[in-house]
């Protein structure tokens, strides 16, 4: 195939301890480390491996977000993507609008495959890939733990509640990836230098002509209810006694 | 009066336990009429189970050979057609629902709420974000259909009732040929199902090997418990992926959860925070699991578990 499109979202780094702001207006992001959504990094790694095997000629990374998402696109270029597109928006873009925007890029680029993370670790929606596949009227293979390309089809093993499900889809298709698909490569310093010269196009999200709605209004954010601290027991006998007291054994 | 369509899930003609939990969530929308839609091939038993869930007014079935396997691309256009007449469309936050509901939402051109954990009022819902580290309250404006997945672990199953009517429906939706089911590999076991078991025993990286994990299976069998694992144990190859408990695995709410040799990464804790009683056994007294455990025991699991088994007289 010619092209693979990969989505990269800028999110709070997965190692950061998330804190809800005191006034409930959101979570603390000031001075917090931002990174590529970990699932998206796995998506990009898979695309790069496909290209390196000679099954694709170009990997394009696309992000939707504020201008500082350029940092994550540059990291994607340093990992090995060929070029990047930023759909710049200063407001939060909901999954349906994100899917519509990705579709607009697909119509321009005509990729053979779109690979996305199964969800972003900020809003945990797990929607964009499925929505994109629906709007594109193409197959979806979500939660992938193995992808085998064979000509115009892909055999994808999916992590489902029952175990591992394998489906076969015609290309082009949307694949969303799970954690065990691969281990993303580390970026090396010379690659960071090289990435500075790779093309990064910025388009205003508003110019895509994507209809957005205001169906959802988000009210206050709150920290989750905390479990109260329990008791420590000294030994097995103490544990069994505590369980018996609660009627659990 | 509002009406709610719940997208049911079944496997081999057995209804998924998450459906009765979705019904409980739907019953929090005051006065709504609740229908369950089931797709599959030969699904009479699953439909009968759904019809007997307290609060269900009607079960709709699309029983067809092309629905034999749960492919989202095949199911979604049929569901979207049926869903047109409903104010709410809910599905379970299982991998089935997570795969399918957004595809339906896009076909209906509406946004979707993921993982409803609480109904505040008919248009307002709470849901977790950032792996459960923050909870948001989202209001869906009037005039929009509410598409959502329901976080099953936040709800108890609705009870039983005299069977509601079951009605076969058909749609004119085009069935795509571009997606095909190949196989499913599942670790069949006689143990209680991880997602519905009243008791769950989970093992972590500290087990050290696939062979050593046997101590977890044996202990679970003595308690009549289901078996789970941390992501570290799955990644290390000790157990298959379907046993993973946590943010990217299964979110569960058993009455008793026993975490053995699990340090308690936030992603794991997200999967168990609705458990009734959490027991933690770990060598490291500083392990984060002890911050959420109701009963904690610092010790070597290979020494402690046989002692517990002996004390239980099992």
Condensed to tens digits (0 to 9), the pLDDT of residues A103-160 reads 999 999 999 999 999 999 999 999 999 999 999 999 999 999 999 999 999 999 999 9
Q: What is the mean pLDDT of residues A165-176?
A: 98
- CA distances A119 to A7, A232, B246, Å, are 11, 37, 15
DSSP code for A20 = B
- CA distances A165 to B150, B184, B187, B248, B276, Å, are 23, 4, 12, 16, 31
Measure A175 CA to nearest chain B CA, in Å.
Answer: 11
Per-residue pLDDT at B291: 93
Residues 6+ apart with CB under 8 A from A31: none
| Residue B224 predicted with pLDDT over 80 | yes
Residues 6+ apart with CB under 8 A from A104: A208, A209, A210
Percent of chain B with pLDDT over 70: 100
- CA distances B166 to A5, A249, B20, B22, B89, Å, are 44, 41, 16, 18, 18
| Residue B247 predicted with pLDDT over 90 | no
Per-residue pLDDT at B190: 83
Among the partner residues B104, B291, B304, nearest to A236 by beta-carbon distance? B304
| Residue B129 predicted with pLDDT over 90 | yes
Task: Give the confidence band of B80 by pLDDT, cuts at 50, 70, 90.
Answer: very high
Q: Count of alpha carbons within 13 Å of B260, Cβ hemisphere only?
A: 27
Per-residue pLDDT at B248: 85
Per-residue pLDDT at B10: 98
Mutation for B interface: A35, A160, A218, most B CBs within 10 A: A160
Contact of B225 with B192, CB cutoff 8 Å: yes
Contact of A145 with A158, CB cutoff 8 Å: yes
Per-residue pLDDT at A227: 85
Calculate the CA dihedral of residues A42, A46, A49, A50 and round it to 10 degrees.
-170
- Report residue B278 as tokens: 């959490």
- Answer left, alpha or beta for residue B136, where phi above 0 means left and psi between -120 and 50 means alpha: beta
Residues of B with CB below 8 A from A18's CB? Answer: 130-131, 133-134
| Residue B188 predicted with pLDDT over 80 | no
Average pLDDT, chain A: 96
pLDDT tens by residue, A43-56? 999 999 999 999 99
Per-residue pLDDT at A212: 82
- Report residue A68 as tokens: 């500082």
| Residue B187 predicted with pLDDT over 90 | no
**CA atoms of B246 and B259, how far apart (whole Å):** 12
| Residue B132 predicted with pLDDT over 70 | yes
Per-residue pLDDT at A229: 81
Residue A148 phi/psi, 5° resolution?
-120, 120
- Report residue A49 as tokens: 């491996």
Q: What is the DSSP pairing of strand A34-36 with strand A113-117? A: unpaired
Residues of B with CB below 8 A from A244's CB? Answer: none
SS3 B75: helix
Instruction: Look at B135 and A142 and tell me if their CB atoms are within 8 Å.
Output: no
Instruction: Look at A179 and B106 and tell me if their CB atoms are within 8 Å.
Output: no
Q: What is the mean pLDDT of residues B299-310?
A: 96
Q: Which residue, among B304, B290, B62, B42, has the nearest Cα to B175 in the 3D structure?
A: B62
| Residue B314 predicted with pLDDT over 80 | no
Instruction: Look at B139 and A219 and tell me if their CB atoms are within 8 Å.
Output: yes
| Angle formed at CA B206 by CA A19 and CA B249, multiple of 5 degrees | 50
Lookup result for tokens 């999110």? A11
pLDDT tens by residue, B20-69? 999 999 999 999 999 999 999 999 999 999 999 999 999 999 999 999 99
Among the partner residues B112, B185, B231, nearest to A163 by beta-carbon distance? B185
> Residue B61 pairs with which residues in a beta bridge?
B38, B168
**CA atoms of A145 and A177, how far apart (whole Å):** 7
Write the burial class of residue B220 (CB in 10 Å: 0-12 exposed, 13-18 middle, 19+ buried): buried
- CA distances A234 to A65, B233, B252, Å, are 52, 26, 28
Give Cα A139 to chain centroid, integer Å.
Answer: 18
Q: Count of alpha carbons within 13 Å of A171, Cβ hemisphere only?
A: 23
Per-residue pLDDT at A214: 85
Among the partner residues B137, B179, B293, nearest to A169 by beta-carbon distance? B179
Write the burial class of residue B142 (CB in 10 Å: 0-12 exposed, 13-18 middle, 19+ buried): exposed
Per-residue pLDDT at A1: 85
**CA atoms of A123 and A225, how far apart (whole Å):** 18
Instruction: Look at B241 and A164 and tell me if their CB atoms are within 8 Å.
Output: yes
Instruction: Look at B137 and A219 and tell me if their CB atoms are within 8 Å.
Output: yes
Q: What is the mean pLDDT of residues B266-276?
A: 92
Residues of B with CB below 8 A from A169's CB? Answer: 178-180
Lookup result for tokens 């298709």? A173
| Angle formed at CA B143 by CA A135 and CA B54, multiple of 5 degrees | 90
| Residue B137 predicted with pLDDT over 60 | yes
Residues 6+ apart with CB under 8 A from B151: B93, B115, B116, B117, B127, B128, B251
Q: What is the mean pLDDT of residues B209-238?
A: 96
**CA atoms of B137 and B139, how far apart (whole Å):** 7
Residues of B with CB below 8 A from A27's CB? Answer: 129-130, 133-134
| Residue B157 predicted with pLDDT over 60 | yes
Task: Give the confidence band of A225 by pLDDT, cuts at 50, 70, 90.
Answer: confident
């Amino acid at each position: 195939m010619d092209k693979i499109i990969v989505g990269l979202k800028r999110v709070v780094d997965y190692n950061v301890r998330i804190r809800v702001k005191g006034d409930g207006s959101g979570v603390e992001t000031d001075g917090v480390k931002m990174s590529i959504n970990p699932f998206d990094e796995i998506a990009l790694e898979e695309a790069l491996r496909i290209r390196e095997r000679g099954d694709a000629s170009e990997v394009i990374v696309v992000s939707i977000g504020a201008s500082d998402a350029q940092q994550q696109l540059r990291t994607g270029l340093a990992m090995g993507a060929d070029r990047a597109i930023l759909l710049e928006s200063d407001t939060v873009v909901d999954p349906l609008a994100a899917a519509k925007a990705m579709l607009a890029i697909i119509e321009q680029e005509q990729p053979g495959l779109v690979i996305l993370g199964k969800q972003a670790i900020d809003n945990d929606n797990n929607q964009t890939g499925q929505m994109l596949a629906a709007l594109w009227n193409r197959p979806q293979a979500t939660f992938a733990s193995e992808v085998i390309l064979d000509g115009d089809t892909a055999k994808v093993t999916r992590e489902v509640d029952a175990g591992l499900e394998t489906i076969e889809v015609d290309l082009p298709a949307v694949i969303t990836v799970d954690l065990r698909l691969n281990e993303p490569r580390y970026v090396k310093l010379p690659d960071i230098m090289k990435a500075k010269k790779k093309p990064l196009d910025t388009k205003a999200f508003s110019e895509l002509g994507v209809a957005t709605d205001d169906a959802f209004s988000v009210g206050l954010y709150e920290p989750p209810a905390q479990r109260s601290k329990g008791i420590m027991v000294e030994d097995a006998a103490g544990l069994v006694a505590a369980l018996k007291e609660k009627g659990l054994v | 009066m509002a009406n709610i369509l719940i997208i049911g899930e079944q496997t081999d003609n057995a209804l998924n336990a998450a459906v009765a939990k979705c019904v409980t969530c739907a019953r929090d929308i005051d006065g709504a009429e609740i229908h369950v839609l089931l797709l599959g091939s030969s699904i009479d038993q699953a439909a009968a189970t759904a019809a007997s869930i307290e609060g269900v007014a009607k079960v709709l079935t699309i029983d067809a050979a092309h629905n034999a396997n749960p492919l989202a691309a095949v199911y979604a256009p049929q569901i979207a057609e049926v869903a047109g007449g409903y104010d709410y469309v809910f599905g379970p936050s299982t991998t089935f629902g997570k795969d399918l509901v957004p595809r339906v939402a896009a076909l209906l051109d509406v946004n979707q709420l993921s993982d409803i954990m609480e109904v505040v009022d008919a248009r307002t819902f709470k849901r977790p974000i950032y792996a459960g580290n923050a909870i948001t309250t989202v209001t869906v404006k009037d005039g929009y259909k509410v598409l959502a997945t329901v976080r099953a672990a936040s709800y108890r199953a609705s009870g039983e009732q005299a069977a509601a009517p079951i009605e076969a429906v058909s749609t004119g939706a085009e069935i795509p040929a571009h997606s095909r089911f190949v196989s499913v590999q599942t670790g069949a076991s006689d143990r209680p199902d991880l997602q519905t078991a009243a008791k769950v025993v989970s093992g972590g990286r500290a087990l050290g090997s696939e062979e050593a994990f046997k101590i977890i299976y044996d202990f679970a069998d003595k308690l009549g418990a289901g078996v789970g694992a941390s992501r570290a144990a799955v990644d290390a190859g000790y157990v298959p992926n379907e046993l993973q408990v946590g943010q990217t695995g299964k979110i569960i709410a058993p009455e008793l959860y026993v975490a053995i040799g699990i340090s308690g990464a936030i992603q794991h804790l997200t999967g168990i925070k609705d458990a009734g009683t959490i027991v933690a056994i770990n060598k490291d007294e500083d392990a984060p699991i002890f911050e959420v455990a109701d009963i904690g025991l610092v010790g070597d699991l290979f020494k402690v578990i046989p002692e517990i088994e002996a004390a239980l007289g099992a």
